[in-house]
A and B are shown apart, each in its own frame.
Chain A
Amino acid sequence: MIIDRAFALKIAFGVLLFACGAMLSAVLDNYYLQVGTTLAMLCSLCWAWNIVGGYMGYPALCMISFFGIGAYAGGIAQAAGVPETLAWFVAAGVGLLFALLLGVPLLRLKGHYFAVGTIASVEVLREVANNWDQLTGGAIGLNLPIHAGSPDEVGRYFYLAMLGLAFIAFLVTAIVDRTQFGFGLRCIRQNEQAASMVGINVFKYKVGAFVLTGVLGAATGAIYASMVAFIEPKDAFNIIMTIEIPVMVMLGGMGTIFGPLIGGVSYVILKEFVWAYFINWHSGLLGLIVVTVIYFLPVGVLGLTWRDIFRKFGASKSTRPVTSDIARSAS
């Protein structure tokens, strides 16, 4: 694990941010706690997705499969009398098994085929949840025991729980970023053949990343289920969310530690703004934003360097080293 000053500062900044977030819970009213919980939830999902989608570069569109599996696993466990916190761990375990089950066949695919395979998993799972009445309650939904306490206490409790999970996702990302596991994922993103030739067990690494993403996603789903105390298939396996999460990470910067946070927060702000001012057009405008992000900012905000920005806005005063072009034409 290489720890340099920049990395230490990033971690310190992250810890500070989460500490502030936790302390804010004492003063925020219920509405802002709700907003904060949603933000923390989206950021956990973004950090989870970032491992497979960002570091490894696989276009996984199954984030909501993990989320929904976790929501149902936790929900069913709780409905059967398992204590809430234990149910979250059960859900994480189910998420692990499910990621293995889904990952082992799907990770043999690449590119578009992988994307289609993963998005299909969302549809399949929603249909299963819709039709397996005895287990999931079917389309009517599943009621969970309601967390005891006043609305304020409950709001604060789930805010802190979600924030805690987001913090875990952040730490996992930081560790992945700096260890040979994450380094291997970055190699795989760029060239799988070359990665195996330097001795990386490509398949094992890919499954490992998928499992990490799955566990974090399922845990998020389980906490969400406990919070809303009622889940139904179209809510737990929401196809729009499975697209939105990758867009958020792209917006922030794929394969970076803070990209998911920046992307998640700015996407939510953008979305709220569009909702508030363009209620009739919001779907179209959000679609436009998605396309714009993918087209103009594929590296995300954090992927930009100052050099890129200067190059874009001051082409004549470009600092780009001309030597490389000359060298290229000469060789």
Chain B
Amino acid sequence: MTAGNELNALISAYVDGERLDQSELQRVQDALASRKEMRKDAELQSATRALVRSRSSSLRHQPPASMMASIQGALDEASATSNGRTSPSSTSWSFSGAIRSLFGTPRFATGLVALGSVVVLAAAALIFLRSPSGSAADSEVTSVAYATFGNVLTGSFGIERESSNTSELRTFFASRGVEFTVFFPEVHASLRGGSVVTINGRQCAQLVYEAGEKKIYLLETDNNDITRGDIELEHGVLEDVEQSRWHWEERADMGTMFVWKSNNVMCTAVSNMPTNEFSALFRLETL
């Protein structure tokens, strides 16, 4: 920053009454006393500041009643969940229930034909089921994740180790040949357990979470395997993660996906929640 720009920046702090150290204050006062253009600049800053502040009420937007009601409803639901209450339908999980919850929200419902969606999910699940048990036919991470999530929804996904104990699960994964340290994100959902899947000869970890009626499937792969090309990750997704630390997408027929890297673990999470609900479950630092 040039000396002139630095002085300009000090002027804004000065008119806002922000704390300046003694030397900064002296610089501003000297400039204001000796230079007409600095006085004018300070006046302009002050006038613009006063204008925006005087119009702040008209610059505000009133939250729509529908949004406020929706937030209250969501908080009620979250409170009920944290109190240990579950809705009747959550105890009888079914494929039709999964489809309803997946496509029940307006964001997902738009332009969808439920039957077509069932076909897509079933087809995605079949891709996975055709392969040997615990081994993915596809070597591309997002394809495996979407296909496996289809199995989670239909109930055909087998959780090898049912546990919410992360130490126990880490031991399980290590015993099954997963060579990296499995990452357990801080997520406001119940951990149901884990399984191992082999992608192109590499052992990868899978975790399943539940949040009320919604499911979350998390596939973890060693980033070194991706770097070496043993496991593929769609180029655009990888580019997003490299450049922006994460990638998200919301596919009406498949679900919402987050991909991010934690240390050297590539995490791919899929859920049947819209993005805002899904994202809201994760602790800030995770995503």
Q: Do A and B come from one complex?
A: no
